[in-house]
A and B are shown apart, each in its own frame.
Chain A
Amino acid sequence: MKVAVLKGGRSLERGVSLRSGARVEDALGRLGHEVLPLEADGDLVKRLIAAEPDVAFIAMHGMGGEDGTTQELLEILGIPFTGPGVAACARCIDKVMAKHELRSAAIPTPDWFAFNETAFRELGAAEALGGLEDRLGFPLVVKPSRGGSALGVKFAENWFDVPEALISAFSYDDRVLLERFVDGRELAVSVLGGEPLPIVEAIPNSGDSYDFEARYEIGRTSFVCPAELGTEEAGAVTATALAAYEALGCSGFSRVDLILGTDGPQVLEVNAIPGLTDTSLLPQAAEAAGLSFEQLVERILDLALTPANA
């Protein structure tokens, strides 16, 4: 089969995407497929039309590749592609939209408020920040609405940290959310074709939070898979993750990030196209389920070609 691997792009997670892409290309080669590596640049559509691949493996993260843009192009070109469709991608990339969907579906997610830049610049939204302490409490987490890999995510310990944290978050997106900080265990449930894979727990070595560097540097974070949880706890986490996957309309594969605090699991975000690098969580979860990386890649391809099974 001729498989185009789409990677790179202009997003801030370009480097991660190139690593995911290279690893997928290796696996596809070993599986005997004809591999067509494609950097997502100005010639992408031209080269896709010329190459006529049977399927496109989207190994892109962040804006452009994970937000529905590339998916829409592939739909227009009539090329089947891996991972969730346009609408699911658009919902997952935008944390604010995703949280609204989750809340509508009664899936637990930490309380939040969202602001866009216009609100502050033109509507005097700063006056409304005073209510945050009562509603969310401190510390709270400030995040860009669209963005991955914890870029631009800051903790505000008190009121004085908030403006600076907002400035940082607004560097990544014109909409940010302020979220109640939930103390708990950091868990990830990868879902493959509607089936949950074993739960991964991320434990940062340094005692810091699971930041951008910890995510992508070998040895910075310990991962435990399957996470050590009681049957009941694990069941609740998996059920919550599956509900989130479905509520956001994901298909093919995705990864649900949760925090397990004293009030049970809460969904932080859903990654439509999770990383596939050496240190990424989906491949680890697949391996714990007895799937080699090649088998994982083959399964993802199957799901793209037979969407009914997704």
Chain B
Amino acid sequence: MPIRHTIRMPEPPHRRRAHARSSDLERYAGLFAERTQVMRSSAMRDLMAVTARPDVISLAGGLPDTSTFPPKAFAAQMTRIAQESAAEALQYGPTEGFGETVDCIVEVMGAEGMLPDPEDVIVTTGGQQAIDLICKALVNPGDAVICEAPTYPGAIPVFCSYEAETIQIECDGEGMRINELEAALQRLDQEGRRPKFVYSVPTFQNPAGVTMSLERRRRLVELARVRELLVVEDNPYGLLRFGGEPLPPLYQLDGGDFVIYIGTFSKILSPGIRLGWAVTPPPVMEKVVLGKQAADLCTSTLTQYFVREYFAEGSWRQYIESLIEIYRGRRDAMVAALERYFPTQATWTEPDGGLFIWATLPSYIDTGDLLAKALREKVAFVPGQAAYVDGRGRNSMRLNFSAGGEDEIREGIRRIGKTIAEQVELYSALTGEDAAASAPPKPPESSEAENVVPFRKTGEGAA
């Protein structure tokens, strides 16, 4: 969730214009574009306003830890920019971004085994803008867009604002189920439709924390090739791996013919600099550049200079290593706390990297309502429904382990566990079913599979 700051300006000569009266609202309503009818704000927006209170332990955000970035180094880098290139750093830049920024991007992608042509790269205002620009270039109202279920909650408003029909394909411990993707593609075939793209976060997915297996990656890339289907690979977390063996990104497997790649400096350096990128085939790039010109002319020059300075020092990989150490400890703390404090009916993913764990509760618990109860215990999470377009995910939640310290994580999970335990106990009292405490650890309920990203690493055959 973004943090909202209120900036108090010195008293202006005229205060903000009078708030609209209802007759004005009617007038505005007549002006709104049709797409605003389908633009969704987060269902829990007002509840989330409460989560921003300082006394609430928030496991709801997606904030990377920026507290260990050395202030002295930051000061030195910014000073060098001021002394050596103030005029340029304060000026507009090219829409595609500076060549030096692209060099840094090529270096970052190289660390995961990718070799993009610098000509195919555009620097964007965060990875979020890359999603927006790709939709802007490709999606007409009513077009089908395919993504994972659950998917990155921040992608849903983008798909909605371009009036895409979003189709979500179930994930399990090995990521998107390719069989189900094929079935969905066949259904679309029968309707004479082609999806504009398949959007995936294959590595340490937000929100589910799962990673697509190598076999499924190969199948997805093959499917894209055979069907001439575009895949949008969003990979903000790939370098934040604290366990297991790295897997090749879809972009590497495909070579960039049918895979559009989205990357970001947000999780490996800073989200505040709003610097991301997209790598696309040249014909798509042409349209993306036009879209970017219309949207904001160019990405911040100043922060591109900062990235250039930072990479010139050559220690960016060490910084990521230090983040990995921090996050590994926090993930371990969260998993241990989940085992200790969540009831046995709950399941959760154990990611090898990234920022999130996805927990799934008994089907009778609505995590949107549970959040209200949890807020009384001063703890917050993201209700699972935020990751679906169709109301699924009601009994799941996204838990972030990157933003807070280990003690805070343990305490937060303890509090959430307490609220869940109360609901479970109440449900037993209402229905006469066995209470959680006495129940043995349950295998995953197959009837629930529709809603669930299964937890831990299952070796399910259904690829």
Residues of chain A at the chain B interface (Cβ within 8 Å)? 10, 12-16, 18, 22-23, 26-27, 29-30, 117, 120-121, 124, 126, 129, 149, 151-152, 162-164, 166-172, 212-213, 216-219, 223, 225, 278-279, 283-284, 287, 292-293
Contact = CB atoms under 8 A, between A and B. Distances in A.
B161 to A, nearest CB: 14
A163 B46 contact: no
A219 B15 contact: no
A126 B430 contact: yes
B45 interface: yes
User: How many B residues touch the partner, as a band?
Assistant: 35 or more
A129 to B, nearest CB: 8
Interface of B: 15-16, 18-23, 25, 28-29, 32, 36-37, 41, 43, 45-47, 49-50, 53, 364-366, 369-370, 372-373, 375, 423, 425-427, 429-432
A279 B49 contact: no
B46 A14 contact: yes
A15 B427 contact: no
A39 to B, nearest CB: 11
Contacts of A172: 369, 372-373
A129 B430 CA distance: 9
Contacts of B53: 10
B429 A171 contact: no
B430 A223 contact: no
A30 B432 CA distance: 60
A117 B19 contact: no
Given A164-B366, A172-B373, A212 B426 contact: no
Given A117-B426, A152-B369, A287-B21, A219 B47 contact: no
B372 A10 contact: no
A75 B423 CA distance: 38
26 contacts: A12-B47, A12-B372, A14-B50, A16-B46, A26-B16, A26-B19, A121-B426, A124-B429, A152-B369, A163-B364, A164-B364, A167-B366, A167-B369, A167-B423, A167-B427, A168-B366, A170-B373, A170-B423, A171-B370, A172-B372, A219-B29, A219-B32, A278-B25, A284-B22, A287-B21, A292-B21
Contacts, number: 106
A15 to B, nearest CB: 4
B429 A152 contact: no
Contacts of B49: 14-15, 18
A194 to B, nearest CB: 23
A152 B29 contact: no
A218 B25 contact: yes
B379 to A, nearest CB: 13
A180 B427 CA distance: 22
Given A216-B46, A218-B29, A30 B18 contact: yes
Nearest to B50: A14
A15 B47 CA distance: 8
A126 B41 contact: no
Contacts of B20: 278
Nearest to A220: B37
B19 A23 contact: yes
Contact of A223 (B22, B37, B369, B426): B22
Q: B16, B22, B45 — which one has the most chain A CB atoms within 10 A of its CB?
A: B22
A219 B41 CA distance: 13
A231 to B, nearest CB: 24
Q: A149, A152, A171, A278 — which one has the most chain B CB atoms within 10 A of its CB?
A: A171
Q: B15, B19, B45, B47 — which one has the most chain A CB atoms within 10 A of its CB?
A: B19
B198 to A, nearest CB: 29
B315 to A, nearest CB: 42
A12 B50 contact: yes
A276 to B, nearest CB: 10
Nearest to A168: B369
A265 B166 CA distance: 42
Contacts of B370: 171
Nearest to A294: B18
B20 to A, nearest CB: 6
List 7 tightest A-B contacts by C-beta distance, closest first.
A15-B46, A15-B49, A171-B369, A171-B373, A168-B369, A163-B430, A284-B22
B46 A13 contact: yes
A29 B372 contact: no
Contacts of A10: 50, 53
